[in-house]
Amino acid sequence: MSNTQIEPSVDRRAQILDAAMICFAKRGFHQASMHDISAEAGISVGLIYRYFENKEDVISAMADRHKKQIHDLLERARQAPTLLESLEILFTAHCCENAPQIQSAFVVDLYAEASRNPRLANLVRDILETAMQGVTDLIARSPEAQHAPQNLTPRQLAELIFAVSRGMLMRDILETERDPTERRERQLRVVRRLWRLLFKPETEPAYA
């Protein structure tokens, strides 16, 4: 029963961050209390302060971890055989990764917080820039992208793709949709539509 015996030194930081993620998604950064987090993690309040300086430190540690997750995601996207598949990976990550639909709420909270916290804003900007550059390269290398319409540069295409991705993420928040797979499907429909629009050389069927 006790995981202390099985795992001699649980990764407390990760445990706390997992709990914090749940609490933050459920109540928001500033409404979730340290007591909520400690209860969710099944530890005492004081212990959190052994691993984190204060609440803000917990928040930025979560942002750091998010950065690493995005990095991994980008790596996975890079290894997909086609650009479309890369985009599918990037677009659907937040609705089926470890967490269910918690991610979306967290990311929007992160941006909201970034609008007031310059340190966090820098971090988020940094994450975004890395990811954007990654996708830009992905596009530049892709054979599919050679006939992009309107002479859009890879960078411009990436910007557009990210804008849509963020926009869909916000939309996701409003959906109290039952199934996670349903979210995923909706998300996929949008990526594919966008991909066709950006990279498929105008294959309009005959009628109208």
Partner DNA sequence: CGAAGATGAATGAACGTTCATTCATTGTCA
Partner DNA sequence: TGACAATGAATGAACGTTCATTCATCTTCG
Please choose which of DNA, a copy of itself, none residue 28 contacts, taking the beta carbon within 5 to 8 angstroms, the exact cut-off set by kind: a copy of itself
CB 77 within 8 A of CB 141: no
Q: Of these, 43, 127, 131, 161, which contacts DNA (CB under 7 A)?
A: 43
Identity of the residue, 10 or 170, whose beta carbon is nearer to a copy of itself in the bound complex: 170
Q: Of these, 4, 98, 151, 203, which contacts DNA (CB under 7 A)?
A: 4
Q: Of these, 3, 33, 79, 115, which contacts DNA (CB under 7 A)?
A: 33
Identity of the residue, 30 or 196, whose beta carbon is nearer to DNA in the bound complex: 30
Q: Which residues bind a copy of itself (CB under 8 A)?
A: 25-28, 30-31, 104-105, 108-109, 111-116, 118, 121, 124-125, 128, 149-152, 156, 159-160, 162-168, 170-171, 173-174, 176, 190, 193-194, 196-198, 200, 202-205, 208
Window contacting DNA (CB under 7 A); options: 41-49, 114-122, 146-154, 159-167:
41-49
Q: In a 3-state reduction of DSSP, which class is residue 10?
A: coil
Cβ density class 89-120: b for 16+ within 10 Å, e for less = bbbbbbbeeebebbbbbbbbbbbebbeebeeb
Which among 43, 42, 25, 23 is positioned nearest to 33, based on CA atoms? 23
Please choose which of DNA, a copy of itself, none residue 54 contacts, taking the beta carbon within 5 to 8 angstroms, the exact cut-off set by kind: DNA
Please give the C-alpha separations between residue 51 and each of 16, 21, 38, 44, 114, in angstroms, as whole numbers. 9, 16, 12, 12, 23
Count of residues touching DNA (by CB under 7 A): 20
Q: Does 56 bind DNA (CB under 7 A)?
A: yes
Please choose which of DNA, a copy of itself, none residue 171 contacts, taking the beta carbon within 5 to 8 angstroms, the exact cut-off set by kind: a copy of itself
Helix ranges, the chain (H):
3-6, 12-27, 34-41, 45-51, 55-78, 83-92, 102-114, 118-141, 154-174, 180-199
